[in-house]
A and B are shown apart, each in its own frame.
Chain A
Amino acid sequence: MEDFDLQIQALIALSLAGDGAAYGRLLTLLAPRLRAYFSRRLSDGADAEDLVQETLIAIHTKRATYDPTLAFAPWVYGIARYKLIDHYRRRGVRRHVPLEEAGVLFAETDTEAGAVRSDLDRLLSQLPARQRGLLEDVRLRGLTIAEAAPRHGYTEGAAKVALHRTMKSLSASVAADED
């Protein structure tokens, strides 16, 4: 477990330095831990998966609030716990979520694959067709940006910009949903 802490600590440093591969690996490591954390506390697996995705998006959009002089694990745990409390609040449930050691998040694992349909399908369907097509080709079908761009009438550079914007609007619509 300590190894895990060290690992994510190193990965966040690389991520903040602009290493996309390290960042992807960091989120991939965190997802099953988050899934286990939420699944144990919620009866509905789809809710848990939604929370995993919401938490990953929050980790992404709020990453500037991580103070690199502090440990990374408590920061992630704080966000996960906040999302859980927020979930109860939106459901109108008053439930006490005890404040635990951040280690609790990383002591739990869940091998179940997270292929659960979620609100993000709905969010994706709100994207303009070209952007969605590009995103699906690059991220779901595994085409390179250079391959996928002409299929949707983009130059390679424009495709990169479009992917970046798509990402932004996805985060923004999640934020708007929470209001």
Chain B
Amino acid sequence: MKTDDLIAVLALEPGPTNPARLNSRIGLWSGSGALVAAVVAVVAMGARPDLTQWTGLTSFLGKAAYTLSLAVAGFWLLDRLGRPGASPWRAVSALLLLLIGGGVAVGLELAQSPADAWTALVMGRSAMTCPLAILALGALTLPPALVAARRLAPLRPSAAGAAAGLLAGGLSATAYGLHCAETAVSFLVIWYGLGVLATTVLGAVAGARVLRW
């Protein structure tokens, strides 16, 4: 087929395309994944017992604010990496600020506590299971995020996959917060962070395969 003929065929279908629809699609798909992860966290793992009380609820919401902002950073980054010519640097800076903010919060919490309380603050009761549980829930939130992201045109599929993994990990960590009763900031930043990181790595590996176009 001659290129001119191909052009004639393609020209049968000009726009309209709505760039914003790609984003709502990613939001919708990953939101559905998050909902499934939340149900699994509550039904299979069990909701934290104090979730219906004020202290438990505020603890959950505080943790969710941090993990959800990681998800939003991932969403933003995915959008930028998925559009050729768009710059990801503002999204990267936002993510760095979140990570630095987390580090500062850990420092403040530990500085304000006696040294013999540090182990309890950092390790909590579930340091070993927490990242694995977040990764397991991430296996529920990552596939829909990647499926929706296949409509994008990432020039670096693995980087876009990592961004999708950050989005999925932030959502699965938020869902896990419904189950996990740990309250220390240090625990949140370190172990939730590790779970989100693991999901991000999984996303990068998967993205290198499924986000090619």
- Would you call A65 and B153 a contact (CB within 8 A)? yes
In-complex Cβ contact of A67 among B2, B16, B86, B212 (8 A): B86
Q: Which residues of A contact B8 (CB under 8 A)?
A: 24, 139
B84 at interface (Cβ–Cβ under 8 A)? yes
In the complex the two chains form, is A63's CB within 8 Å of B11's CB?
no
Q: Does residue B12 face the partner (Cβ distance < 8 Å to A)? A: yes
Interface-lining segment among B17-25, B64-72, B133-141: B17-25
Residues of chain B from 49 to 106 with CB closer than 8 A to chain A in the complex: 82-86
Residues of A within 8 A of B (CB): 15-24, 27-28, 31, 35, 49, 52-53, 56-58, 60, 62-68, 70-71, 74-79, 81-82, 86, 102, 114-116, 118, 120-121, 123-124, 135, 139-140, 163-164, 166-167, 170, 175, 178-179
Are A114 and B2 within 8 A (Cβ)? Answer: yes
- Give the interface residue-count category, chain B: 20 to 34
A139 CB → nearest B CB, Å: 5
Q: Inter-chain contact count A-B, CB under 8 Å? A: 133
B17 to chain A minimum Cβ distance, whole angstroms, is: 4
Interface residue ranges, B against A (CB under 8 Å): 1-19, 21-22, 82-86, 151-153, 155, 212-213
Contact of B84 among A60, A74, A164 (CB under 8 A): A74
Q: Is A81's CB under 8 angstroms from B15's CB?
A: no
In the complex, the answer to whether A56 meets B14 with C-beta atoms within 8 Å is no
What is the CA–CA distance of A178 and B213 in the complex, to the nearest angstrom?
A: 7
Docked-complex contact A115 and B15, CB < 8 angstroms: no
Least Cβ–Cβ distance between B95 and chain A, in angstroms: 20
Q: How far is the CB of B169 from chain A (nearest CB, A)?
A: 24
Query: 7 more A-B contacts (CB under 8 A) besides A81-B155, A114-B4, A123-B1?
Result: A18-B15, A27-B10, A31-B3, A70-B85, A71-B85, A115-B2, A167-B9
Contact A63 B15, beta carbon cutoff 8 Å:
yes
Given contacts A64-B21, A75-B83, are A53 and B6 in contact (CB under 8 A)?
Answer: yes
Contacts of B14 in A (CB 8 A): 15-20, 22-23
**Is A135 a contact of B9 with CB atoms below 8 Å?**
yes
Is there an interface contact between A75 and B85, defined as CB atoms closer than 8 Å? yes
Whether the Cβ atoms of B6 and A64 lie closer than 8 Å is no
Pick from A74, A163, A166, A178: contact of B212, CB below 8 A: A178
CB distance from B93 to the nearest CB of A (A): 18
Question: Within the assembled complex, what's the spacing in Å between the Cα atoms of A159 and B86?
Answer: 39
29 contacts between A and B (CB under 8 A): A20-B12, A20-B14, A23-B15, A24-B10, A24-B11, A31-B7, A35-B3, A52-B3, A53-B1, A56-B3, A56-B7, A60-B13, A62-B152, A64-B17, A65-B19, A65-B83, A65-B84, A68-B19, A70-B83, A70-B85, A70-B86, A71-B85, A74-B85, A78-B85, A114-B2, A135-B9, A140-B5, A163-B12, A167-B9
Q: Which of the residues B2, B9, B11, B152 comes within 8 Å of A170, measured between beta carbons?
A: B9
Closest to B152 in A: A65
In the bound complex, do residue B3 and residue A167 qualify as a contact, i.e. CB atoms below 8 Å apart?
Answer: no
* Assembly CA distance A38 to B51 (angstroms): 60
